[in-house]
Structure 1
C-alpha cells in the first residue's frame, strides 16, 4: 500500500490527519501521522517510527509531507526510511498544509513522479494568499452583516 506520511513538530501532523478525515474519510486509513513530542529526543522519535513501520508490514511505499524541510522530525523519519531501504522510492515534500495534504492523499495512487510533485506543490502554493473580505456592504442593509 502507498501511505501518506505526515511528519511534524508536536501534534501538527495528528491534527492535519484529523482534518483530512473531514474531507477524505475513505482515505484516512492510508495516512500515518508522526510528530516529535515536546521533550522527546530524535532517538525516541526514531524508535517510535520504527515501531509504526513494523506495524504497517513490508512492501509499502510512502509519500512524506513534512512541516519544515531540514527539521529534526523530517530528517529523523527520512533516516529511518533510508535504513529500511525505502527512502529511494519515496517522495518527500516540505511545508505541508491542508490543501497540499488533501491533494497528496487523493492523487498518490493516480499520479507519480514529477507529475505528482507538480500537482501537489502547485495546490500548496496556490493556497497561500491573503484573504481580503469584501467591504462593499451597504450601510442600510444590516441583514447582510
Structure 2
C-alpha cells in the first residue's frame, strides 16, 4: 500500500488534491497535504510524516514537494533515507495524477523515473504558427 503526500508553499497542495479529486474522484481522498504558511515550519510536518513512516514500514510513502532546493524539500530530505520513503520535487498535476492512478502497492524506482520523464513532457511552450490568409481564402 502506498501513501501519497503533497507538501507545498501556501495552499497549493490542497489545490492539487482538489484537482485530483475532480479528475480521479474518491481515489484522491486519501492524499495527505501539508502547506507551509506563516507560523508553520516544514520540519514540523516532516516530523509528523516521519512518525507515520516509522509506524507503517510496510507502506510506501511517496512525498512530492514543490521546489527543489527550497525549505520544504530540504526539510524532507532525510525521509528519503527510509526504505519506504520516496521524495520527489517539482510536483505538477501530471506527476501527481500518474502516482495516484498507478495501481501497484509499491511503485518501483524504474516506474518512478518513467513517471518523472512523462510529467516533464507536459511542460511545453505552446505557440500557434501565424497563418497568412490571402484574399482568395475568404
Question: Which TM-score bucket, shorter chain as reference?
Answer: 0.7 to 0.9
**Distance change >3 Å, CA 114–CA 74, structure 1 → 2:** same
Aligned residue in 2 for 1:28 = 28
TM-score (norm 2): 0.75
Post-superposition CA distance 1:64-88 (Å, at most 9, x none): 1111123222233444x47xxx832
Q: Which residues of structure 1 form unaligned runs of 5+?
A: 141-145
Q: Which residues of structure 2 form unaligned runs of 5+?
A: none
Q: Is 1:15 matched with 2:15?
A: yes
Q: Distance in 1 between matches of 2:70 and 2:103?
A: 24
Q: Relative to structure 2, which stretch is displaced further, 66-75 or 4-13? A: 66-75
Aligned length: 133
**Distance change >3 Å, CA 51–CA 94, structure 1 → 2:** closer
Q: Secondary structure at the match of 2:125?
A: coil
**Distance change >3 Å, CA 137–CA 99, structure 1 → 2:** farther
Post-superposition CA distance 1:43-92 (Å, at most 9, x none): 54446x359949xx73432111111123222233444x47xxx8322121
Aligned residue in 2 for 1:129 = 124
Q: How far is 1:28 from its partner?
A: 0.7
